[in-house]
């Protein structure tokens, strides 16, 4: 598919995307998109603070800070200290993807916040950018990363963690826009980020720590690629659809046209969902469907003999390998564990996992949950994530539960009051911030567009 642009002739989708990201201005972005970006920013900051104390997060943070300068203008949220843009971006990206509360874009199956806000914040603080310039950079990162995730398609997600791969391009776009790259340099940044894009799902089988490494790497790769492009370091111009580019090596159903789908008219950022449960997003539709059955029929966990969950193929690919979770984090990728927590405790929140994910009652109910590919659910995915399950009770009833729009989706979103409550809970988790600090942070986020420069969000330690 070709596009003509002025007198330059036909240009490819990657160049279209680079021109959009480089040319995006704050005043071009509709007010509802900017307000939604602020919502997502608060959700991200709180998720990053909740990562404090997580062993993989602390290990990665200690490493990056040992490699970086002892101080700097860029805030490492869980340490309350500054460092370089690269170190801060990588530390904050790792922290914000730990407790499984960061956002998700359904159609691209991509977590934008954890790879967009860390580099954008780091560069904004390093350069003293205004809140408006920061928001414009974040919107650019979202719009690029989501389209790259959709471009790579369903086959990519079967093996690759899209947040690690598309995330590298999202981070490059956010950083490049913050640095003021022109379209040519932005395209070079995409080339350098794309050639380093990585992240494989195999870690789930071993309860390995790679998920946080993926987001740290993506944030660092994108930031590095953009800074290098600023200094005229070149990258592959056809990194997306060239004969040896990302589509050729990482996808069987790539859709290059998605890279420029509705640029400037379709604001993909507004399609992003918030996480209501503290678990893999693939479990959320079923969790909401089970909650609806429990409420409607007055059931208790003891009434349940079996739960059959109709799922899409990607849920089987990602959740299927997790049979007997050995860590809290692995438990968040276990459909049975999530549904057992919902049935027994009424929620699948951070405290529920920490206290109960391996309890005798949870394990017993976990083993009564079965996933099966459902044609309707699979056909709707990834545009729609339908929750559909059948609960068989001990007295022989078979009860259908269904949710067409899980809590947190754009049509069933979290209000600002709900986002504030969630942020307060995340800030308290792991003692990332005090209640007074969180209240101040919330006020600052709601006014970020008026900030003359992006200084530290929280007091230094």
Residue 334 shares a structural domain with residue 245: no
- Domains contained in the chain, number: 2
Residue 87 shares a structural domain with residue 211: yes
The H-or-E segment that residue 74 falls in is: strand 74-76
**pLDDT per residue as tens, the chain (461 positions):** 333 333 345 789 999 999 999 999 999 999 999 999 999 999 999 999 999 999 999 999 999 999 989 899 999 999 999 999 999 999 999 999 999 999 999 999 999 999 999 999 999 999 999 999 999 999 999 999 999 999 999 999 999 999 999 999 999 999 999 999 999 999 999 999 999 999 999 999 999 999 999 999 999 999 999 999 999 999 999 999 999 999 999 999 999 999 999 999 999 999 999 999 999 999 999 999 999 999 999 999 999 999 999 999 999 999 999 999 999 999 999 999 999 999 999 999 999 999 999 999 999 999 999 999 999 999 999 999 999 999 999 999 999 999 999 999 999 999 999 999 999 999 999 899 999 999 999 999 999 999 999 999 999 87
The span from the first CA to the last CA of the chain, in angstroms, equals: 53
* Range list of β-strands (E), 364-461: 369-373, 387-393, 398-403
Residue 13 shares a structural domain with residue 160: yes
User: What range defines the domain where residue 386 resides?
Assistant: 281-407
Residue 319 shares a structural domain with residue 254: no
Give the CATH number of the domain where residue 386 resides.
3.30.1330.120
Three-class SS state of 418: helix
CA pair distance 129, 135, nearest whole angstrom: 10
Q: Quick check: bond before 16 cis, omega within 30?
A: no
CA pair distance 151, 70, nearest whole angstrom: 40
Residue 199 shares a structural domain with residue 83: yes
- For tokens 């950083």, the residue is 175
Residue 264 shares a structural domain with residue 293: no
Question: What is the reported pTM?
Answer: 0.95
CB 189 within 8 A of CB 236: no
Residue 264 shares a structural domain with residue 285: no
């Amino acid at each position: 598919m070709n596009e003509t642009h002025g007198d330059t002739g036909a240009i490819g989708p990657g160049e279209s995307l680079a021109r959009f990201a480089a040319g995006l201005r704050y005043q071009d972005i509709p007010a509802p998109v900017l307000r939604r970006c602020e919502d997502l920013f608060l959700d991200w900051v709180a998720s990053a603070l909740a990562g404090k104390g997580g062993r993989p997060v602390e290990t990665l943070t200690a490493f990056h800070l040992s490699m970086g300068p002892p101080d700097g203008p860029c805030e490492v949220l869980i340490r309350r200290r500054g460092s370089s843009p690269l170190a801060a971006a990588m530390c904050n990206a790792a922290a914000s993807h730990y407790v499984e509360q960061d956002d998700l874009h359904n159609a691209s199956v991509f977590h934008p916040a954890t790879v967009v806000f860390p580099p954008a914040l780091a560069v904004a603080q390093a350069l003293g950018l205004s809140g408006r310039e920061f928001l414009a950079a974040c919107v650019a990162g979202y719009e690029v990363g989501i389209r790259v995730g959709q471009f790579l398609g369903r086959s990519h997600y079967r093996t690759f963690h899209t947040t690690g791969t598309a995330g590298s391009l999202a981070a490059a776009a956010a950083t490049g826009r913050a640095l003021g790259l022109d379209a040519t340099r932005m395209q070079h940044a995409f080339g350098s980020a794309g050639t380093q894009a990585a992240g494989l799902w195999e870690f789930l089988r071993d309860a390995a720590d790679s998920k946080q490494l993926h987001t740290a790497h993506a944030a660092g790769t994108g930031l590095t690629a953009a800074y290098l492009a600023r200094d005229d370091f070149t990258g592959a111009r056809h990194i997306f659809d060239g004969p040896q580019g990302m589509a050729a090596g990482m996808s069987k159903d790539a859709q290059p046209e998605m890279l420029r789908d509705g640029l400037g008219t379709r604001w993909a950022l507004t399609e992003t969902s918030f996480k209501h449960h503290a678990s893999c997003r693939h479990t959320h539709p079923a969790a909401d469907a089970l909650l609806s059955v429990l409420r409607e029929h007055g059931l208790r966990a003891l009434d349940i003999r079996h739960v059959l969950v109709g799922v899409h193929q990607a849920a089987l690919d990602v959740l299927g390998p997790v049979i007997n979770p050995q860590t809290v984090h692995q438990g968040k990728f276990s459909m049975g564990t999530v549904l057992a927590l919902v049935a027994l405790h009424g929620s699948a929140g951070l405290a529920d996992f920490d206290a109960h994910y391996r309890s005798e009652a949870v394990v017993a109910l976990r083993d009564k949950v079965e996933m099966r590919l459902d044609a309707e659910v699979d056909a709707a995915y990834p545009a729609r994530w339908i929750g559909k399950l059948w609960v068989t009770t001990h007295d022989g009833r078979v009860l259908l539960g269904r949710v067409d729009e899980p809590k947190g989706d754009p049509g069933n979103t979290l209000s600002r009051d709900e986002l504030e409550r969630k942020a307060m809970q995340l800030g308290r988790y792991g003692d990332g911030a005090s209640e007074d600090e969180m209240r101040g942070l919330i006020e600052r986020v709601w006014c970020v567009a008026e900030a003359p420069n992006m200084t530290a969000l929280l007091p230094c330690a």
